[in-house]
Structure 1
Amino acid sequence: MGAGDDLFSGLLSRPAAVPAGVRGVLRSVFRLVYPPTCVGCNRMTGEAGALCPDCWREIGFIDRPFCEVLGIPFARDHGEGAVSAQAIAQPPPFDRLRAAASHEGTARKLVHRLKYLDRTDLACLMAQWMLRASDGTVDACDCIVPVPLHRGRFLRRRFNQSAELARHLAKAAGKPLLAGTLLRVKPTERQVGLSALARRDNMRGAFSLAPGREADVYGKRVVLVDDVYTTGATVGAASRALRKAGAADVTVLTFAMAISGPI
Structure 2
Amino acid sequence: MHPAATRLASVPGPAARLVLDFLLPPRCLTCDARVSEVDGLCADCWQKVQFIEKPLCHRLGLPFSHDIGDGAWSPQAIANPPPFDRLRAVAIYDGAARDLVLGLKFGRRRDLARPMGRWMARAGNEFLDRESILVPVPLHWFRLLTRRFNQSADLARAVAQTCGGQFEPGLLKRRKRTRQQVGLTAKERWKNVRSAFSVDPARRGDLLGRHVVLIDDVMTTGSTVAACSKILLSAGAASVDVLSFALVDPSHTSSTEPATS
1:99 partner SS: strand
Structure 2: which amino acid aligns with 1:95? D
SS of structure 2 residue aligned to 1:251: strand
Counterpart for residue 139 of structure 2: 149
The residue type paired with residue 60 of structure 1 is Q
Give the deviation of 1:48 after TM superposition: 2.7
Checking the alignment, whether the CA contact within 8 Å between 1:102 and 1:258 is kept in structure 2 is: yes
Give the Cα–Cα distance (whole angstroms) in 1 for the partners of residues 133 and 16 of structure 2: 42
Q: Residues 127 and 165 of structure 1 are in contact (CA less than 8 Å); yes or no, is this contact kept in structure 2?
A: yes
Q: 1:35 to 1:140 in 2, by over 3 A?
A: closer
1:139 corresponding residue in structure 2:
129
State the secondary structure of the residue aligned to 1:255: strand
Percent of aligned positions that are identical? 47
Compute the displacement of 1:234 (Å): 0.8
Deviation (angstroms), 1:19: 5.6
- Counterpart for residue 255 of structure 1: 245
Offset of 1:136 from its aligned partner?
1.6
Quote the offset at 1:152 in angstroms. Answer: 0.3
Match of 1:85 in 2: 75
The answer to whether 1:195 aligns with 2:178 is no
Q: For the Cα contact (< 8 Å) 2:49–2:96, is it kept in 1?
A: yes
Task: Tell me which of 59, 63, 67 is aligned to 2:57.
Answer: 67
Q: 1:173-205 CA distances to partner (integer Å, 9 max, x unpaired)?
A: 111111110000000111122221111111011
After superposing the two structures, state which structure 1 stretch, 51-60 or 131-140, moved more.
131-140
Q: Supply the distance in 1 between the matched residues of 2:147 and 2:43 (Cα, whole angstroms).
A: 32
Unmatched tracts of structure 1, length 5 or more: 1-6
Trace 1:214-253 onto structure 2 (pairs within 5 A).
214-253=204-243
Distance 2:162 2:246 in 1: 19
Q: Once the 2 structures are TM-superposed, how far is the Cα of residue 251 of structure 1 from its aligned partner? A: 0.2
Q: Determine the C-alpha separation between the residues in 1 that align with 2:192 and 2:245.
A: 23
In 1: Cα distance, 2:55 partner to 2:205 partner: 36
**C-alpha offsets along residues 19-76 of structure 1, whole Å, 9 cap, x if unaligned?**
61498679847863x5432112122223331111000001111111111001111111
Amino acid at match of 1:145: V
Q: Name the counterpart of 1:3.
A: none
Judged with a 3 Å threshold, the aligned counterparts in structure 2 of structure 1 residues 30 and 236 are, in CA distance, closer, same or farther, namely same
Q: 1:31 to 1:193 in 2, by over 3 A?
A: farther
Instruction: Report the number of matched residues.
Output: 249
Q: Alignment RMSD, CA only?
A: 2.3
Mapped partners of 1:26, 1:249: distance in 2: 44
The TM-score normalised by the length of structure 2 is: 0.88
SS of alignment partner, residue 165 of structure 2: coil
Question: In the aligned structure 1, how far is the partner of 2:74 from the partner of 2:2?
Answer: 48
Residues 40 and 110, structure 1, Cα contact 8 Å, conserved in 2: yes
Partner Cα separation in structure 1 for residue 20 and residue 198 of structure 2: 50
SS at match of 1:252: strand
Partner of 2:34: 44
Q: Match for residue 96 of structure 2?
A: 106
Q: Does the aligned pair in 1 maintain the 2:130–2:165 contact within 8 Å? A: no
SS in 2 for 1:228: strand
Any conservation in 1 of the 2:52–2:91 contact (CA below 8 Å)? yes
* Secondary structure, counterpart of 1:124 in structure 2: helix
Query: Greater shift after overlay, 224-233 or 87-96?
Result: 87-96
Per-residue displacement from partner, 1:220-254 (whole Å, max 9, x unpaired)?
11100000010001101111110110111100000
1:8–1:30 Cα contact (<8 Å) kept: no
Q: Is the 8 A contact 2:130 2:166 kept in 1?
A: no
Look up the SS of the partner of 2:129 in the other structure: helix
Q: For the Cα contact (< 8 Å) 2:8–2:16, is it kept in 1?
A: no
Instruction: Give the distance between the partners of 1:88 and 1:246, measured in 2 at CA.
Output: 25
Is the contact between residue 145 and residue 182 of structure 1 (CA under 8 Å) also seen in structure 2? yes
